[in-house]
């Protein structure tokens, strides 16, 4: 990853990427901020393991409960609005027997989207995490700002 500087006081974020049997990705639309689309996720609680945080956020935002996911990416964002952030992203298996729903008040919409028809607004960071989750292995990246797709 190269020299990323001190990360001892970084916040921890965790997200869940799920693809259905048609290759579509599950995204949620926030009811706050930029009203943007993202994979389900958020901040880890103090002392919470990132994988547990991703599963908790997935449930809190969509009502989905899944077996543990596998890590697909780790991203260091020194200039995040909350201060330095380490984002962990996990691939979760799709369970066609469950239906994702928008859990208010934080999430206004959920949807499954083809990779060439992602909704707007979203950022290049969302696209990168989705693309990385499609690959084998674990991506390691430093995030220097985000470019909006509107």
Q: How far is CA 82 from CA 11, 36, 86, in A?
A: 8, 17, 11
Q: What is the pLDDT along the chain (150 residues), one digit of tens a residue?
A: 444 444 567 899 999 999 999 999 999 999 999 999 999 999 999 999 999 999 999 999 999 999 999 999 999 999 999 999 999 999 999 999 999 999 999 999 999 999 999 999 999 999 999 999 999 999 999 999 999 999
Domains of the chain and CATH, by start? 11-149 (3.90.79.10)
Q: What is the spatial distance between Cα 36 and Cα 39, in angstroms, rounded to a whole number?
A: 10
Question: Residue written as tokens 């001190």?
Answer: 6
50-56-61-65 Cα dihedral, nearest 10 degrees: 120
């Amino acid at each position: 990853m190269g020299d990323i500087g001190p990360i001892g006081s970084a916040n921890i974020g965790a997200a869940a990427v799920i693809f259905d049997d048609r290759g579509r990705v599950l995204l949620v639309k926030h009811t706050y901020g930029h009203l943007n689309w993202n994979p389900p996720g958020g901040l880890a609680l103090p002392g919470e393991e990132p994988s547990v945080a991703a599963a908790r956020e997935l449930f809190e935002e969509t009502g989905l409960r899944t077996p543990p996911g596998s890590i697909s990416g780790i991203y260091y964002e020194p200039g995040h609005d909350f201060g330095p952030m380490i984002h962990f992203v996990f691939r979760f298996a799709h369970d066609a027997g469950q239906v994702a729903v928008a859990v208010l008040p934080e999430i206004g919409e959920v949807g499954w989207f083809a990779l060439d028809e992602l909704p707007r607004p979203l950022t290049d960071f969302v696209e990168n995490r989705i693309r990385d989750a499609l690959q084998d292995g674990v991506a390691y990246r430093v995030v220097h700002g985000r470019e909006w797709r509107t």
